[in-house]
Amino acid sequence: MKKVAYIRTSTGKQTLGIEVQKEALKAYHPTHWFIEQVSGRKENREQLNKALDILEEGDTLIVYKLDRLGRSTKQLVNLISQLEERKIHLNIITEGIDTATATGKLIFTILSAVAEMEASLISERTKQALAMSENKGGRPRLNHLTKVKVLEMHQKQAFTVNEIALKLDISESSIYRILRTHQQKNNKG
């Protein structure tokens, strides 16, 4: 019987998260390891799919935490149903869930709903914070005076784009955008 470990973090910057999960899963002596760095909301995850493909009846899928498998109740319930149909066990070590038991199945369903609610709350808080903030995400708005200064300095040809950027404390890409917009306005009129 295979014991398949699945480890996931959301980004490539979370290598510590991978190491923590690896260390915890070692105690369960997995026969196979699948590791990826991708959002839990993504439905089609390459390494999870590979892990699921090799699992057979009686095997166990081992994960560190419920949210490593997915973020939506629908996604998690579909996965557990798929595993159940194939008679594959799921062991979620931090939550102490083992779907080989009726209690484990119930707890898994409840925790799936909680994980989805938590993701929704994070999304709502982020949207509320952005709505209240002057910074709406994306690049900051440049005021009209800064744009005029960019055009004047560029037309004098006394400064390079890099020097203008340093003097006005803006990015070179902002300068090129201002110049391009100005050029397009002049071409139209």
Known catalytic residues are 10
Candidates 38, 40, 44, 41; CA nearest to 11 is: 38
Name residue, tokens 């080989």. Answer: 100
* Host H or E run for residue 111: helix 102-132
Q: Are strands 97-98 and 89-92 parallel, antiparallel or unpaired?
A: antiparallel
Whether 63 contacts 107, CB under 8 Å:
no
Side-chain-side CA neighbours of residue 73 (13 Å): 11
Tell me the C-alpha distance between 22 and 41, whole Å.
21
Record the tokens describing residue 106, joined without a space: 């119930």
Q: What is the DSSP letter of 66?
A: G
Tell me the C-alpha distance between 148 and 92, whole Å.
59
